[in-house]
A and B are shown apart, each in its own frame.
Chain A
Amino acid sequence: MKHPIRIQNLGGATAMILHRPHPTVQALTRQLQAIGLRVVQAWPELGPEALGADFVFFDADMGHDEQFPWDAGQSPMPMVALIGSEAPGRIEWALRAGAHAQLLKPVGDNGAYSALLIARDAFDAQRALSVEIADLRRRLDERLTVVRAVAALAARGKTEDEAYAQLRQMAMAWRVSFEDAAARVVAGMAGGEDDRRNRG
């Protein structure tokens, strides 16, 4: 396992169940309370208080995008689909809505605990990947700036390798990313040394 499961902070967490009143809600509520969560049931939609929930369980059978106070797939917490009909269209919708795990209906007296842990792990992994992808994308976008900065430093009589190494040293000295350092060098070329210092 890449990291230990965090169990302790499930206690006192809030789970919202977006489902019409139904024995499935009762069974799920019992399971979640036994685990130590606070449970709030909601139907037909999640109110603003859902933004403070730690987990959302949602009905995949009768669900639609307008029930959620966020864009599809953008939930700020792990989501678990409650699936009755395994029709492909419904599963597709549940996935687009942002399910991180699922629980099949009728819900009996187990399954919630593993759904919580799997959903949270998938949510954390997805969020970490999104951050990493955004960072990589930004760095990709800055490729041209880096080329310009290296060229500018090389123009002062260095080889390309030396210019590259100098840029890396500048980034370390300024405690900024390589790409930000390149942006400063390029801006400095355009606006003069004073401008570069002010931006530091």
Chain B
Amino acid sequence: MTQEAETLFASGPFAFDGVERGGMKRRIELGLIFSRSGSYTLIAEACRSGALSAIAMVNADPALDVSFVPVERDPGGNVDLYAPLCEEILRDTGARHVLGCVTSWSRKEVIPVLEKHGGTLWYTVPYEGFEASDHVVYTHACPNQHLLPLLDWVIPAHGKRAYLTGSNYIWGWEMNRLAREVVVQAGGEVTGERYLPIGSRDVARMIEEIRHSRPDFVLNSLIGPSSYEFLAAYRRLGAEDAHFRADRCPVLSCNLTECELPALGEAAEGLVAAGPYFRGAAGWPGGRFGSSHEAATFAAVRELARLLHGRAEAGITDLLAGAVSVVDPKTHHTELPVLIAQVRGGAFRVIREQAAVAGDPYLTRGRVAAVPNLRVVS
């Protein structure tokens, strides 16, 4: 969008957009920074598709006085491109809000840029917690909304001997640190812990360690091709030795959703994941989505439109002042349902559902463990 158009349509009660149903809509540019190639592209595409469908819905909604114009940049999975591309959006366009980033690494890269330009990032994928930036809104789950409920489920059901895997960066390290703490506190044991560089398919050593240490469950915090290779190899291990089948020693994940099932095929069978939404689950505002990545990104755009309605564009802190929002003004995290689901017959089936839980990024707000499941579906 040009600078002139920005000035013409951006503000005032009479700002008019003749395109969208003749409504009195201000056009607001909205940054999207998703990698459309690289090792986590399936997740990025799911998020992007949630963003675009929400933008279409907002633009068609006569009850909202804003319409969004997406401004897209594609870092192509290169972590060093996130900060410059985010800066380009905030400096060269009217966008003050940006959706995007998948890895925590890329999110950390853009935060200084957001601070410099007064921008806000809507981060819509699960992460490892321990952050509450003034310039970020976290609309997917953090550990008290994914890992801890998942461990609450698995330990009584399968046992307390865990094998921990992860990709070699902050997500895997922190997830496994926390899992180790919980398992050891429960009187359990970590039978092994191993990491792979992002993109590596070298899973043989992990599989051998699992074969010999015979844990009760495996926590998989690998991402992308490493994860796909690992799950396929683990499936073969289960075919050789019944101990390693999902009913005895399941693989758990806090970031695997439907968007990656096509890359996994049969290998995903039996995998157990935690997340705020699984395809077909009821209760998520805005309808039905392909995955929680899509749902959380959709919800982010919708909430931003709601907060902007009738108000001048501003950063998230100002938008939250005096507003009622699903975003907690203290932590910028959101309250989310907690679902645990298992892949059965190529789709996630919810096996446990808990009441919505507020995001507690520093795990300091206390927690009622395991008990409050509303219903057990099995």
Interface residues of chain A, those whose CB is within 8 Å of chain B, are: 4, 7-8, 10-12, 27, 30-31, 33-37, 108-110, 113
Contact = CB atoms under 8 A, between A and B. Distances in A.
A35 B364 contact: yes
Given A34-B132, A113-B130, A7 B115 contact: no
B318 to A, nearest CB: 13
Contacts of B133: 109-110
Contacts of B364: 7-8, 10-12, 35-37
B115 A109 contact: yes
Interface string B135-153: 1000000000000000000
Nearest to B108: A110
B366 interface: yes
B331 interface: yes
A31 B363 contact: no
Contacts of A27: 134
B362 interface: yes
A35 B181 contact: no
B330 interface: yes
B365 interface: yes
A31 B134 CA distance: 9
A7 to B, nearest CB: 6
B100 interface: no
B275 interface: no
Interface string B120-137: 000000000011111100
- Sorted from nearest, which 3 A-B pairs have the closest CB atoms? A11-B364, A36-B364, A34-B132
18 contacts: A4-B181, A11-B365, A27-B134, A30-B134, A30-B330, A33-B330, A34-B362, A35-B132, A36-B360, A36-B364, A37-B364, A109-B115, A109-B132, A109-B133, A109-B134, A110-B111, A110-B133, A113-B130
Task: State the majority secondary structure of interface residues on B.
Answer: loop
Given A37-B364, A109-B133, 17 more contacts: A7-B362, A7-B363, A7-B364, A8-B363, A10-B362, A11-B362, A11-B363, A11-B365, A34-B132, A34-B331, A34-B332, A34-B362, A35-B132, A36-B365, A110-B111, A110-B133, A113-B362
A35 B134 contact: no
* Residue in A4, A30, A31, A34 with the greatest tally of chain B CB atoms within 10 Å: A34
Interface residues of B, number: 19
B132 A108 contact: no
A7 B143 CA distance: 13
Contacts of B111: 110
Nearest to B317: A30
A7 B332 CA distance: 20
A33 B360 CA distance: 12
A113 to B, nearest CB: 7
B50 interface: no
B181 A34 contact: no
Nearest to A11: B364
B115 A108 contact: yes
Interface string B316-341: 00000000000000111000000000
Contacts of B132: 31, 34-35, 109
B358 to A, nearest CB: 12
B330 A34 contact: yes
Interface in B329-374: 330-332, 360-366
A27 B134 CA distance: 9
Contacts of A4: 181
A11 B130 CA distance: 13
Contact of A34 (B115, B135, B361, B363): B361
Contacts of B331: 34
Contacts of B181: 4
Nearest to B131: A110
Contacts of B360: 36
Contacts of B131: 110
Contacts of A10: 362, 364
A10 B131 CA distance: 15
A81 B135 CA distance: 25
Contact of A109 (B135, B363, B365): B135
A149 B368 CA distance: 58
A193 to B, nearest CB: 50
A12 B364 CA distance: 8
Nearest to A1: B177
Nearest to B114: A109
B146 to A, nearest CB: 17
B187 to A, nearest CB: 15
Contacts of A109: 115, 132-135
A110 B361 CA distance: 13
